């Protein structure tokens, strides 16, 4: 017998902590170290396996029978520890249970539904640009990356006007909680009670406006697709993962376009590149940096032997810049063919809200590029630290209208 | 290896040699073909790898599954009776010579 990941199995041990503040400040050198150490590594600090190359991240994501989600997609193993909240019926579930709930959310957020909300989302993006042009100088995170999704997504869900200030803090708790029991996670959970209470209340059928995504989920109860007890938890998934992720996605795109003026100019010259500019920002910045899986059996992965019940940490962000898969991975190129990136994951758990995210990103970037000639960063960007999400807290900019 | 042909809206065509068991979408994106976006990377979630199957081939493809059927209702270009998602067309030796027409737009 050998210890998990011991040298016997040929898996390199690394002493890095990928949930540490210094790592968050500049993860790229460590991502490279993780990728170059081997296809599978072992992180002694948290006693987990790690994969940072594209091929292995993609393989783990696409073998849900071996690398399961029902034992939690954070460090905590639900078989050994009580989850901090009732588990998600979709994110933290395996087939066949997952197949049924996933089908419901896929239907509620389908391409057909996106066609119906598109004009509304685009009009709100134009209104946001109006407001920004009035201001000239503003914070691109609070006044743009947060303000835009907040102006459409809660309404699209059908939420009441009161209490929406809980949404971003709640999502922040959810994504911090996937991390290890560090200060970020502990403090987030300690302060989460009012946010949890708000979310639990809003997920009830009576609190969701007719025609919204939330009401559409509850309507699936009448179709017999899900039970009345399941519906609120599926609404909770949209409240957990539908807002902060797009805030960080749009924030990433604006940060990229402000840093790389040549790409901004290309977008200005061809507005049809707006959707690609957003997608490439999701690859380049990877707003969702990591997720875990748990092995359901002993498995051999690229020559590494992994036992049953082991946590495997997938570095989505490192895979999205793996030179084995991408040409010039560290360049932000809005014409890149991004198909296959894992910024939204891959396989059966791939982001169910990806179409909402792309729609928001596309219409917002297109509206900005149509009417703004220049975006200049005028102050030091501040990072927002989270165990799973990568994004900024503040990005002071000044714009020049076209 | 079986080869398939993509015909662009302007009438130009590209003949693509497929490699072991890949989908028509994977063959197209591997070669950087314009006209197939495949935003979701082949997970049957986005409807941006829409193709029109040449009439003579429609009946020779496996039937449309329920999830593909729902996605086809949301394609950017008009859905026609021969519409398919190319990520759901796995190229087997029997499909050697398959002809797929690309729509005007994918988003």
**C-alpha dihedral, B99 to B101 to B102 to B104, nearest 10°:** 170
Please indicate if any CB of chain B lies within 8 Å of the CB of A360.
no
What pLDDT sits at residue A194? Answer: 98
* Residue numbers in A near B42 (CB within 8 A): 340
Nearest residue in B to A353, CA atom: B45
The CA distance from B54 to B57, in Å, is: 6
**C-alpha dihedral, A307 to A310 to A316 to A317, nearest 10°:** -110
- The span from the first CA to the last CA of chain A, in angstroms, equals 68
Tens-place pLDDT, residues A264-308: 999 999 999 999 999 999 999 999 999 999 999 999 999 999 999
Number of independent structural domains in chain B: 1
The tally of CA atoms less than 13 A away on the side-chain side of residue A264 is 20
What pLDDT sits at residue B7? Answer: 97
Whether the CA torsion A144, A164, A170, A101 is positive or negative: it is: negative
A46 occurs within a structural domain = yes
**Cα of B58 to nearest chain A Cα, Å:** 24
The CA distance from A118 to A37, in Å, is: 45
Residue identified by tokens 């402000």 is A258
**What ipTM goes with this model?**
0.91
pLDDT higher than threshold 50 for residue A2: no
Please indicate if any CB of chain B lies within 8 Å of the CB of A339.
yes
Interface probe for A, chosen from B50, B106, B107 (most Cβ of A below 10 Å), is B107
B65 occurs within a structural domain = yes
B46:A355 CB<8 A? yes
**Residue % of chain B over a pLDDT of 70:** 100
- Structural domain of A229: 7-401
Mean pLDDT of B47-60: 97
Which pLDDT band holds residue B20 (cuts at 50, 70, 90)?
A: confident
Tens-place pLDDT, residues A108-132: 999 999 999 999 999 999 999 999 9
- Structural domain of B87: 3-101
What pLDDT sits at residue A9? Answer: 62
Which pLDDT band holds residue B21 (cuts at 50, 70, 90)?
A: confident
Domain with residue B88: its CATH number is 3.10.20.30
B107 occurs within a structural domain = no
> Chain A window 106-145: which residues touch B at a Cβ cutoff of 8 Å?
106-107, 110-115
The better pLDDT of the pair A3, A113 is held by A113
Closest residue to A110, CB basis, from B39, B70, B107:
B70
B95 occurs within a structural domain = yes
Q: Tell me the pLDDT of chain A averaged across its residues.
A: 96
SS (H, E, C) B28-95: HHHCCCCCCCCCCCCCCCCCCCEEEECHHHHCCCCCCCHHHHHHHCCCCCCCCCCEEEHHHCECCHHH
Domain with residue A269: its CATH number is 1.10.630.10
A1 occurs within a structural domain = no
pLDDT higher than threshold 90 for residue A8: no
What pLDDT sits at residue A3? Answer: 53
A323 occurs within a structural domain = yes
B67 occurs within a structural domain = yes
Please indicate if any CB of chain A lies within 8 Å of the CB of B100.
no
Mean pLDDT of A120-147: 98
> Chain B window 12-51: which residues touch A at a Cβ cutoff of 8 Å?
29, 32, 37-43, 45-47
Nearest residue in A to B31, CA atom: A337
Residue identified by tokens 């809980």 is A166
Nearest residue in B to A340, CA atom: B41
B70:A115 CB<8 A? no
Contacts of A265 (CB under 8 A, 6+ apart): none
B106 occurs within a structural domain = no
Q: Are strands A311-315 and A48-51 parallel, antiparallel or unpaired?
A: parallel
Number of independent structural domains in chain A: 1
B51 occurs within a structural domain = yes
Which pLDDT band holds residue A10 (cuts at 50, 70, 90)?
A: confident
**Cα of B38 to nearest chain A Cα, Å:** 6
Mean pLDDT of A47-65: 98
A354:B46 CB<8 A? yes
Nearest residue in B to A109, CA atom: B45
Q: CB contacts < 8 Å between A and B, how many?
A: 54
B73:A111 CB<8 A? yes
**Cα of A8 to nearest chain B Cα, Å:** 35
A2 occurs within a structural domain = no
């Amino acid at each position: 017998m050998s210890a998990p990941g011991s040298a016997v199995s040929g898996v390199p041990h690394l002493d890095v902590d990928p949930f540490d503040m210094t790592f968050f400040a500049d993860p790229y050198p460590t991502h490279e170290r993780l990728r170059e150490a081997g296809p599978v590594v072992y992180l002694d600090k948290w006693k987990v396996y790690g994969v940072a190359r594209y091929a292995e991240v993609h393989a783990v994501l696409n073998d849900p029978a071996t690398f399961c989600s029902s034992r939690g997609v954070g460090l905590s193993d639900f078989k050994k520890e009580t989850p901090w909240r009732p588990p998600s019926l979709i994110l933290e579930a395996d087939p066949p249970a997952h197949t049924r709930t996933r089908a419901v959310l896929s239907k509620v957020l389908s391409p057909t539904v996106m066609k119906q909300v598109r004009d509304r989302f685009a009009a709100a993006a134009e209104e946001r640009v109006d407001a920004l042009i009035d201001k000239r100088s503003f914070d691109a995170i609070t006044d743009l990356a947060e303000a835009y999704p907040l102006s459409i997504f809660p309404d699209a869900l059908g939420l009441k006007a009161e209490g929406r200030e809980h949404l971003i803090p709640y999502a922040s708790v959810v994504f911090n909680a996937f991390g290890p029991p560090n200060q970020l996670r502990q403090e987030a959970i300690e302060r989460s009670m009012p946010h949890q209470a708000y979310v639990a209340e809003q997920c009830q059928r009576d609190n969701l406006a007719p025609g919204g995504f939330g009401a559409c989920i509850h309507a699936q109860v009448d179709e017999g697709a899900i039970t009345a007890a399941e519906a609120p938890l599926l609404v909770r998934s949209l409240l957990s993962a539908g807002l902060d992720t797009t805030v960080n996605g749009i924030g990433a795109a604006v940060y990229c376009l402000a840093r790389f003026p040549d790409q901004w100019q290309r977008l200005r010259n061809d507005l049809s590149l707006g959707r690609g500019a957003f997608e490439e920002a999701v690859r380049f910045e990877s707003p969702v940096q990591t997720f875990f899986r748990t092995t359901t059996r002993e498995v051999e992965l690229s020559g590494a032997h992994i036992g049953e019940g082991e946590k495997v940490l997938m570095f989505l962000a490192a895979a999205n810049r793996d030179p084995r898969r991408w040409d010039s991975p560290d360049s932000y190129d809005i014409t890149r063919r991004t198909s296959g990136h894992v910024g939204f994951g891959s396989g059966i758990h791939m982001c169910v809200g990806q179409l909402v995210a792309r729609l928001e990103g596309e219409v917002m970037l297109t509206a900005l590029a149509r009417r703004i000639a220049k975006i200049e960063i005028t102050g030091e960007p501040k990072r927002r630290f989270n165990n799973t999400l990568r994004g900024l807290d503040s990005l002071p900019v000044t714009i020049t209208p076209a | 290896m079986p080869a398939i042909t993509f015909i662009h809206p302007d009438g130009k065509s590209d003949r693509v040699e497929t490699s072991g068991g890949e989908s028509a979408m994977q063959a197209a994106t591997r070669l950087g073909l314009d006209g197939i976006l495949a935003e979701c990377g082949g997970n049957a979630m986005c409807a941006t790898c829409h193709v029109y199957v040449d009439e003579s081939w429609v009946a020779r493809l496996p039937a449309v599954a329920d999830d593909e059927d729902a996605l086809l209702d949301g394609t950017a270009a008009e859905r026609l009776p021969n519409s398919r998602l190319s990520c759901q067309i796995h190229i087997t030796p029997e499909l050697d010579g398959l002809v797929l027409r690309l729509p005007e737009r994918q988003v």
